[in-house]
Amino acid sequence: MGEIHAARIEKSDRLQRVLQVLMAIDKPSSRQIQEIANVCAPSTCISELRKSGYLIDCERQGSIWFFRLLGRVTA
């Protein structure tokens, strides 16, 4: 299994929409991200944002995942 090929936030409307949801809602669920940002795979988007340096925490409550934007690592 290979490494994820992540889109760059600067060139991805999809990732920018997910980031906007994370900035607007304190702990959106994967379903909220999916519906508001209009993406099919919110967890993949979260992984790609992490590759772009965003610190995103996740928490599972039952069968539902919630995400929180903590900041961004700058090099």
pLDDT in tens, 28-40: 999 999 999 999 9
**DSSP-based three-state secondary structure for 33:** helix
pLDDT at 4: 59
DSSP strands (E only) in the chain: 54-61, 64-72
Amino acid at 6: A
CB 74 within 8 A of CB 61: no
**DSSP-based three-state secondary structure for 10:** helix
Q: What are the domain boundaries of the chain? A: 9-72
Q: How many C-beta neighbours within 10 Å does residue 13 have?
A: 10
Which CATH number describes the domain made up of 9-72?
1.10.10.10
pLDDT at 54: 96
